[in-house]
Structure 1
Amino acid sequence: MKLFVPNHIITLLILTYLNSVKAYLNLYLSLSEVQRLLGLAAELYYIRNGNINNYALNFVVPVPSKIDSLHFIWESLAGQPLPYSIKVETSNSPALPPPKLNISSSGSIPTSPQTFTVSLPCSGVVEAEVDITITINITVSHDNVTTLTFRRNKICLQFEKSTMYVSMDSMPQFSNSTNIFYIAVCCAVILIIILAFLVTLYYIKDKKSRRTIETAGGPTTTTTTFLAALPRNSVNASSYGSFRRMPSYSLIDERSKDLQDRIAELTVQRCRVRLSSIILEGTFGRVYHGSYTNEDGTEETVIVKTVTDHASQVQISLLLQEGMAMYSLNHKNILSILRVSIEDHTAPFLLYPYKNYTNLKLFLQKCKVSSEGVHHTLTTQEVVDMALQIIQGMQYLHKKHLLHKDLAARNCVVDDKLNVLVADNALSRDLFPSDYHCLGDNENRPVKWLAIESLLHKNFSPSSDVWSFGVLLWELTTLAQQPYTEIDPFEMAAYLKDGYRLAQPINCPDELFAVMAYCWAMSAEERPTFTQLHVCLQEFYAQLTRYV
């Protein structure tokens, strides 16, 4: 049995969402523990300064067969020890005997950081995936008891007995306590030697990494990342503005690396990036014109996405996760990330290639008639050509088993020759706040671009991307008007269920509006595919060119 950690779970572990609940303590996994379990260089906080991270608590952490123990760190912030009780349950006793704790099942959480361990000794008799539930009850006051539930999934292999689990029948019988004492002393000496060796290796490795960072001119302090996780099969789960791998595909392809490896491949020194002018600016996000100096000394013009100094760790994590969604994609109608610059105590830089690109939504808005005249008059032929380019980009994404989930004019760019590229949605919530709404679940969504099933049940598929494309096509024909301006975001689901849709724009040909209407079919199965849309619009484009 081989353990696979889904890439979309690893990627989503960079996201953080904290629900504020009084808990009066810290409870987290150390950097080394997260590295050991998930391969990420970050700490995972379940409770930080009294804030409970429910998303992390709900995540079922996979535990490989080689790992025989779990380590948690906690401390009371109430100024006094907090009473607790702890219980560990497993779903398969033959495969995994009852886990053991290095602390009592009830006691008090100390006021200084303490590490407690849960041992997970596989029997080696049965091969199975064992569900482990750790329940901790913490008493803050006589009427305030906080219950925390941690879930783990342990892989146990047959005939692979844990080094921490020894059958009583196989233990040697010692003749007296003196022998036991000498054996214990020998084990302690061996353990100390091993620990000293590991500490020395860590020191040498850390010294080398610090020297490398100092050479690049960056500080050497390790930053703490808040992590939040989503449930399994989270293709239909939250974070609407992000790309997700479609559920019917495995991870055995060239994109199966985790986010940390992707960033490492693209990371460049900050001194090679130069910012020139601000293109867009939000509350915490900024987009710059800049330049990047290649290793051969040549300079390349780039777009730089970053955040301000007052941005939170959540916003930084979201920028990285969403910005890396276009990693390694190569298509003429896809704007893929070029480089990443990350240094401690500074905001990360995401670099994109720049060829006189303008945000498509801003470009369309400039095409409107103003007191200064018309910036650019889009013909129906140009609109259809731009739509065809977007379709080609989306066909490529779906071929790579990726869903966009936030296809809109704000997440596309266009150059002065009307070449359109589909981009990621990093910083879009901040730069275009009026396009996103929170429906009471602490999640900003592009409500008026979402398919009915995505809005109601958070279900996403290629057909939900087709629905969003229909709204984008409406944006092209209306020069980026806001859809459903008269409808309250909380009423959108009922409005769509009643069969209402966007009205036909002025001067929009019937053939083009019919394409939009097909995209907004109530049933996902009745909507056209992007391949069918390409054929349909290609024929319409050919008809338009006959009259030119």
Structure 2
Amino acid sequence: MNIFLFILFINSINAQLNLYLDSVSVEQLYDLNGHQLYYINENQIRQAALEAALVISPDIHFLQLTWNQDRSDINTPKLHYEYNTSSSNEQVLLRPVLNIAEQGIVPRKTSAFSIFFPCVSSQRVNCSILFRFYNATTNHSSMIINLKLLKYCQDQTINSSVLKQFYSTNQINDYLLMKQSNYRDFASTTLATILAYSLVIAIVVFLLVFCTAMSLFCLYRMTTTKHKKSENLIDDNQDHPALPMTFDMTTFEDVSLYSCTQYDFMKTADELLSSATFADCTIDPNRVTLHEIIMEGKFGCLFHCSLNDTLTTMSTQNIYGKTMNSSATPVQLNDMLHDCCLFATLKHSNINNPLGIVYKNELSPYPLIIYPYSNKGILKRFIIQNRTSSRQQLLSTQELVYMAIHIAKGLYFLHKRKMLMKDIGTRNCL
């Protein structure tokens, strides 16, 4: 609780009263040398010094003030004083204690008294000391000043010799007991707070672990259920490939038999069509029937076709037919025929070799290259159908890895022959 300053100027006080902080105290508070801070100077109250609270740091336990009453005339009446102290929070800071009596006479000679700040805890506290100076003969006339202080308390051990300057033995014991009691209360409160926070943290950790475990369990159940469902939906008679444990590239076909560096890429389309490469693989266009377009690109398209065994029998087999469209250039036609020639010389289980060539077909003037048919169709469509079909037939990870391994085998075979596949994709795999 702050006490406001009331000031009365008393004309009847003839003695010259001085109350100030000496140079030692000013240096202790403000680190200034050779300065004094006056609160009363020759009966004149310095209001500027009293307006702001004096800040007392935690390492300062007592403050020393200097005062005197300059009575030039021996008949000048004595100047009496009385004071009262207060603290805004006595749970942290008890009322300040002075080592002078609560009532008395201001000394004529210059002397000093000390103010002790009995901290019992650690916190910032406002406190004040209210002085009243008066003549005994005219008690109704007085001078009142209020020293406002801001003390930063810190629970520290104070030397008993310092306490004896302000307290009696019983008062010292009471003060120490109060500090111990406050410390025990603070320790118990701190322990209770720590236990409460620990309990909250333990509950939060338990909930996180529990939620994580439940999420993993639900994910496991969903995965297991989906796997069982896919096993029930897939036909039991379907041939599921077994995933090999290891892959030894040396067990592949001999790669030293052929290299594309031996191939003549300078031949034109007419030279290729009249060469011996296509002489034995020409197919009569009457044996080939074109059906729907399976895939169409910018320069070519892929047909689903059927091939009669002979011109007279009705036995047919499904095939693929690859040709160019009107947007193709002669260079692209040459590239397609060169690819056909190259792949015709390759023999590998993961390479789809052409079966033959039809020079003219009913839809395009360009040659139609015939390839073996795959029951599952193009890999891209096969994967999409198994993902979106009404049966919800799911491909297992084992099957997908199996497909990727066979694609890698075919690429490995081509790379060993110095051939580079520039358009690897599921749309180009069967």
TM-score of the two chains, using structure 2 as the length reference: 0.33
TM-score of the two chains, using structure 1 as the length reference: 0.27
Structure whose alpha-carbon radius of gyration is higher: 2
